[in-house]
Amino acid sequence: METMVSIKPLLAVLVSLAAVAPIAFSGSRPNRREGWTFGAGIIKLALILSMLPTVLAGGEIRYTVAELLPGLAIAFRVDGLGMLFALVASSLWLVTSAYSIGYMRGLKEHSQTRYFAFFAVALSATIGVAFAANLFTLYLFYEMLSLATYPLVTHHQDHEARLAGRRYLAYILGTSIAFVLPAMVIVYQQAGSLDFVRGGFLAGAGLSPALLGLLFFLFVFGFAKAAIMPFHAWLPAAMVAPTPVSALLHAVAVVKVGVFAIFRIVTGVFGPDLLRELGLGQWLAILAAITILVASLIALSQDGLKRRLAFSTIGQLSYIILGAALLSPKGMTGGLVHIGMHAYGKITLFFCAGAIFVATGLKNISDLDGIGKRMPVTMAAFFVGSLSVIGLPPTGGFFSKWYLLQGTLQAEQQVMLFVLLSSSLLNAAYFLPIVYRAFFCPPAECRVHGPLREAPLWCVVPLVVTALCSIGLFFYPDLFRRLAEIGLGL
């Protein structure tokens, strides 16, 4: 596999950052402002796609920006994992931007300029994490993402948002400073390097198993964006954000950054072999399993649509972590692919929730009886999305879950097999009733009566697109699979 040096990764990161200034200055002309957003999004996607062939050919693209301290650089490295994640994030940014227009203007939200500006920053950070070549660069963009999303989460600037923002930062920033930073310093001081190496670089560093174990869990809990219990509470709280934010950031960018970071730790820092011989994978798997089941159970009891989605997200994230923890080729592949699959499925669901809110102002599931008659397209998309999250054909979710199941068998962990299956049942149990209510229950009050009235077109089109995408991914999952396998060196 050949390694080529190119500035493209840096550009891919910076392009949306560069768009911030024009976005901020064209605040008075909304159309031009959104024009900038789309321009940046398209360029970003194009840049990433242009790097795709090299990666598919098994190559890598590296670029070092600055040697900050001896042996500590801001450096980018595009490999399978990063490419997979970057593709998902950047493609969904475009869709979400379109959706945001419909949503924000539909609700006449205040200070939309700030909203779009910080959205762009958040995307830069996400891509930065995806392409980070070493732990430090990853940490840098991880923090950048935490801070850039704060104004988005607290967009409404009311008391509720204030409390939510406080909890958000307390979990995200607190854990990263208290856990990740010391762990990172210790690793650097012991191993003298932070560059991700396939198969891990700590194996040879000769650290005591106890210390290794400590470090591992400092990292796992430190990247609290992965929302492993008990560090999950920020995610439901953050649902006070406008729906597009929840959609992109809390179904795709932020949370996936967390699990992606953990994947990097597993594959790039410790390495499957080391984890296997220390038996740490087992423990991580158990954590993930617990999170999966508990989160699904809590989701059952939630009436707020977005809150239910949030808890489902927590569970789904742990699918991915479980995949990593299995340390078996199929399992890890499944986990990585699930990053993409779940993203498309879950964002569809969030879009639907937002669309319903825009059109009818409803937030609670108990009010949704018969809404399907009024918003058939939306609810159809919702159905597709939930299928994908449950993991049923014909949706992409099925594919990744299939791999995960195989992974459990490969790792001879039948327990986890049952965990996955039972959680699928739970998923079905908390999603399908919504669809049922929507289509077959008679409307309770007159509130959702009236003629067929969908949300604005800007809202509907994106959610249809993502729904179709997750169906498409059932038939053409190979791109993600290939990338995952390349990334894992299979």
Partner 1 sequence: MIGPEQYPAVMIVVPLLAAFAINLAGLIDRRFCYPLLLLALGVAAAAALAVLGQVMRDGPISYRLGGWPPPMGIEYVVDHLNGLVLVVTCVVAFLAAVYSKRSVERELPDKIPYFYTLFILAVTGLLGMTITGDAFNLYVLMEITALTNYALIAAGRADRAPMASFTYIIIGTIGASFYLLGVGHLYIMTGSLNMADLRTILPELYTTHAVIASFIILLLGLWIKMAFFPLHGWLPNAYTHAPTATGCLIAPLVTKVSVYIMARLMFSVYSPEFSYRVFGPAEPVVWMAVAAIVAGSLMALAQKDFKKMLTYLIVAEVGYMVGGLWLANRYGITGAVLHIVNDALMTLCLFFTAGIVVYKMKGHAFTDLRGLFRKMPLTMAAFTVGALSMIGVPPTAGFFSKWYLLLGAIEAGQWGFMAALLFSSLINAVLFFKVIEIAYFEPCGVQHGHDGGQAAAHDVIAVDEAPFSMLAPLVLVSAALLAIGIYSGSLVTNIIQYAVPAGF
Task: Tell me: does residue 66 bind partner 1 (CB under 8 A).
Answer: yes
Question: Where does this chain touch partner 1 (CB under 8 A) — which range of 143-151, 217-225, 329-337, 365-373?
Answer: 143-151
Query: Tokens at residue 35, please?
Result: 């024009």
Residues 401 and 424 sit within 8 Å (Cβ to Cβ): yes
Closer of 39 and 174 to partner 1 (Cβ): 174
In terms of residues, how long is the chain?
A: 490
**Helix, coil or strand: residue 74:** strand
* Residue 144 beta carbon to partner 1: minimum distance, rounded to whole angstroms: 8
* Secondary structure letter of residue 72 according to DSSP: E
Task: Check residue 134 and report its DSSP letter.
Answer: B
Smallest CA-to-CA distance from 194 within 209, 208, 206, 183 is with 183
| Binding region for partner 1 (CB under 8 A) out of 27-35, 158-166, 215-223, 475-483 | 158-166
Site string for partner 1, 107-136 (x = CB under 8 A): ---xx------------------------x
CB distance 139 to 28 below 8 Å: no
Q: State the DSSP code for 232.
A: -
Q: How far is the CB of 157 from partner 1 (least distance, A)?
A: 5
- For the CB of residue 75, give the shortest distance to partner 1 in the complex, in Å: 13
Q: Is residue 21 within the footprint of partner 1 (CB under 8 A)?
A: no
Q: Given the rule CB under 8 A, which of 176-184, 219-227, 261-269, 362-370 is the region that contacts partner 1?
A: 176-184
Q: Is the dihedral of CA 263, 265, 270, 275 positive or negative?
A: negative
User: Is residue 407 a contact partner of residue 332, using CB atoms and an 8 Å limit?
Assistant: yes
Task: Output the smallest distance, CB 27 to partner 1, in A.
Answer: 11
Nearer to partner 1, 124 or 154 (CB): 154
CA–CA dist 128, 333 (Å, integer): 22
Give the shortest CB-358-to-partner 1 separation in angstroms: 20
Q: Does 214 bind partner 1 (CB under 8 A)?
A: no
Smallest distance from the beta carbon of 68 to partner 1, in angstroms? 5
Tokens of 345: 């499925």
The site that binds partner 1 (CB under 8 A) totals a number of residues, namely 34
* Tokens representing residue 36 in the block: 């900038």
Q: Which amino acid is at 297?
A: L
Among 182, 213, 304, 433, binds partner 1 (CB under 8 A): 182
Phi, psi of 392 (to 5 degrees): -110, 145
Give the Cα separation of 371 and 392 in Å (integer). Answer: 24
Distance CA 235, CA 347 (A): 15
Contact between 185 and partner 1 per CB under 8 A: yes
Q: How far apart are CA 89 and CA 189, in angstroms?
A: 33
What H or E segment, with its residue span, contains residue 75? strand 72-78
**Is 177 one of the binding residues for partner 1 (CB under 8 A)?**
yes
189 near partner 1, judged by CB under 8 A: yes
Q: Min. distance of Cβ 67 from partner 1 in angstroms?
A: 5
State which residue, 72 or 405, has the beta carbon closest to partner 1. Answer: 72
Residue from 53, 69, 210, 451 touching partner 1 (CB under 8 A): that is 69
Show the DSSP H helices in 108-233 as ranges: 112-131, 135-153, 159-175, 181-191, 209-222
Q: From the list 7, 178, 457, 490, which residue makes contact with partner 1 (rule: CB under 8 A)?
A: 178
What residues pair up with 3 in beta bridges, in sequence order? 60
DSSP code at position 109: -
Helix or strand holding residue 371 (H, E): helix 371-374
Q: Is 173 in the site for partner 1 (CB under 8 A)?
A: yes
For residue 420 the two structure tokens come to 């996955």
CA torsion, ordered 208, 211, 213, 217, to nearest 10 deg: -160
Q: Interface with partner 1 by CB under 8 A: which range of 25-33, 65-73, 300-308, 395-403?
A: 65-73
Q: Which is nearer to partner 1, 19 or 295 (CB)?
A: 19
Q: Which stretch binds partner 1 (CB under 8 A): 67-75, 98-106, 432-440, 464-472?
A: 67-75
Among 174, 376, 394, 433, binds partner 1 (CB under 8 A): 174
Least separation in angstroms between CB 385 and partner 1: 33
Q: Does 188 bind partner 1 (CB under 8 A)?
A: yes
Q: CB–CB of 407/384 below 8 Å?
A: no
Q: Does 432 bind partner 1 (CB under 8 A)?
A: no
**SS3 at position 68:** strand
Query: Is residue 359 within 8 Å of 455, Cβ to Cβ?
Result: yes
Site membership for partner 1, residue 478 (CB under 8 A): no
> What angle do helix axes 396-410 and 457-475 make, rounded to 10 degrees?
40
Among 1, 46, 68, 444, indicate the residue that binds partner 1 (CB under 8 A): 68
Does residue 161 touch partner 1 according to CB under 8 A? yes
Q: Is 70 in the site for partner 1 (CB under 8 A)?
A: yes
Q: Any contact of residue 192 with partner 1 (CB under 8 A)?
A: no
Question: Contact region for partner 1 (CB under 8 A) — 38-46, 179-187, 269-277, 462-470?
Answer: 179-187
State the residues that interact with partner 1 by CB under 8 A. Answer: 66-70, 72, 74, 110-111, 136, 139-140, 143, 147, 151, 154, 157-159, 161-162, 165-166, 169, 173-174, 177-178, 181-182, 185-186, 188-189
